[in-house]
Chains A and B, each alone.
Chain A
Amino acid sequence: MIFAFFMSLLLLITIGGISHPSFQATCHTLLTGCCLMAGWNNALHVQITVLCIFMLLIITVISNLILRKQSFQRSLKSLFIGLLLVILAISLVIYILPPTLFRLEYGIVFSIILVEFFYSILSHTVGGQIVGMLCTLNALTLVIGLNSQIFAFVTLVILYSLFLISSIMIIQRLG
């Protein structure tokens, strides 16, 4: 119940663009951490969940530093597309996945990935693009943190670190 509540909150944060990247990155990352803590009981390996939460804390700090001076804007059109994508993704996943799984949660994760990717494409500023991909990675963290092996976690860490390094480089170049 608490898990579903946090997930819905996460979705809300995802769709509704707060036009300050570092604030949105912080909110999204911390809420992902909250979701992981709420889904603790269902986790496959508890150690990996703990590691994921620690990693999310570190990423909150780093992304805050990176995105300090950035800003972005979201039009009504992009918000509408985001909403449409959420409806599509959730209905597709609920149709396909069997009722014994956490269908809604999978649907939310999928829709976060899709929506943030499209926001990232539509965004004209570097800050918006980085936040979009960061939120996508957060959604992946949710899946990996709750049901995965050590290799997947290592992959996740490397994806995060390469992405953060490249975004630092991009901000320095394109500002």
Chain B
Amino acid sequence: MASVGDLAKILYWGCVIWPLVGAIGILSCHGQKAKIRCHIIVTIILIVITLLSVMIPNDFNFSILWNYDSFTGFLRVMIALGIIISTFLIKLWMPNRFITSGNEMKTLMNLIFFHVFVCVAMLAVAINNFFILLIFLYLLIFLLLIVCFINGGSEKVKSAWNYFRYILFFMIIALMGVFILALPIVQSYELLPKFGSFILVFGIIQAYGLFPVCTLFYRLVIQLPSLIGSVVLFVVPIVFLSLFVKLFQISGYQNPQLFLIGLNLLSFIIVVLKEKDDLFVLAPFLLIILTGLSAIFANSIEGIYCVCLFVIMLVIFAPLGYLLDKGNLSSVFKNWFKLALSAFPPFGIFYACSVLIAYLVLQLPWLGYSLLTLFFIRGYFLFRNSNYQFFSNEILTKEGYCLIGLIILPSIVLPILSQYWIFQIALQFVHK
């Protein structure tokens, strides 16, 4: 019933609705009442997405394999732009008198490391070879270890060392998967490509440092200085995203969709259960959902479009949001700016959950509908436990106007500016 095209359409609608849902997410940051409002609107959006995706005729179903490599070039340019913008913003944000006292020296070192990190990530994205990409990825984690050494504390060093070993192990597992896929007899035997692809994807997902390694991963991120923490949370995922998109170039690779869906569901349930915690704690789960989604959809034109948008948002907004949320210099900034930048986690969580549920309704209807029902029941209990007014005056403040600007930027301005460009590049990848 559902083809890749259908899924792509869902993703496309998810892309369009993402900023809207993100704005709701921002409002949900302030307390229980807003959560109820957010909950109800998100449920309605889910239903709308599902209906729309079913109603669109099946006419833009491009597939399957691409080989041309200007996508990586595009990503590289995007990240380079991201570096320039973030450098500019950080320069604005830094105090003018940059005296070499101990603490500020450390900040300066971290700043330099931040840029080295982003450059290595950029190289990893630009390279079109699995092995070299792994080298850059490993170098990234090695730099992380060095940063932990500079910033001292044996606890910090210990957790970085653990993380380093985990990554090494799962990289080796992924390499084994590649070697199995490269065997000359792989096509003539049914189980072999499935096994190889599964091992490959499993290795990558785990090396990403997420479920069930996520607790360790998160303990590490919390202990890091905020600049580097933001890199781990938001720049390393870009490398993994591009890795997933490139996997389809390996001959004999079969995407283990069921495994990815299962993993996504698991992280999604954790996100819903733990939503009272700090939103940044949820970021790893959110990222695994997004990576899983991009892995599922990587083969179609909307998938590529979505990945592009995601990367733009990630590179430009996310690290700064993380920084400003943790840093003690946030009073230097205007309020709305902080609000905008720290909005990334709710953005992604609701985006991911809407796409995931719509996908499930198409793929496994009983599961999707029961999940939606659970959402409704939960909403009912949330609603009953508090008396609540739907639209309050807080929307019409100055921050509210900035919020509207924020919605317009990614949903209208960015797509219009980059539409032609992204579409041309995406056409190179998708084999008609």
Interface contact B131-A155, CB-CB below 8 Å: yes
Main secondary structure of the interface of B (DSSP, over half): helix
Interface string of B277-315 (1 = CB under 8 A from A): 000000000000000000000000000000000000000
Interface string of B136-153 (1 = CB under 8 A from A): 001100100110010000
Interface string of A142-175 (1 = CB under 8 A from B): 0110011001101100110011011001100110
Interface contact B169-A151, CB-CB below 8 Å: no
Number of interface residues of A (CB under 8 A): 34
A109–B172 Cα distance when bound, in Å, is 11
Interface contact B139-A147, CB-CB below 8 Å: no
User: Min CB distance, B256 to chain A, in Å?
Assistant: 14
- Identify the stretch in A6-14, A15-23, A58-66, A97-105 within 8 Å (CB) of chain B at 4 or more residues: A97-105
Interface contact B195-A170, CB-CB below 8 Å: no
> Does B173 belong to the interface (CB within 8 Å)?
yes
> Does A1 belong to the interface (CB within 8 Å)?
no
**A96-B191, A147-B179, A169-B149 known; A136 and B134 CB under 8 Å?**
no
Interface string of A101-144 (1 = CB under 8 A from B): 10000000110010001001000000001000100110110011
> Does B412 belong to the interface (CB within 8 Å)?
no
- Identify the stretch in B1-9, B160-168, B244-252 within 8 Å (CB) of chain A at 4 or more residues: B160-168
Which residues of A have CB within 8 Å of B164? 166
B contact set with A: CB distance below 8 Å: 129, 131-132, 134-135, 138-139, 142, 145-146, 149, 154, 157-158, 161, 164-165, 168-169, 171-173, 175-176, 179, 182-183, 185, 189, 191-192, 195
A-B contact pairs, 13 of them (CB 8 A): A100-B185, A113-B173, A117-B169, A136-B169, A136-B172, A140-B172, A140-B176, A147-B179, A154-B135, A155-B132, A158-B135, A166-B142, A166-B164
Q: Which 10 A-B pairs have the closest CB atoms?
A: A151-B131, A155-B131, A98-B189, A117-B169, A96-B195, A162-B142, A158-B135, A140-B172, A96-B191, A170-B161
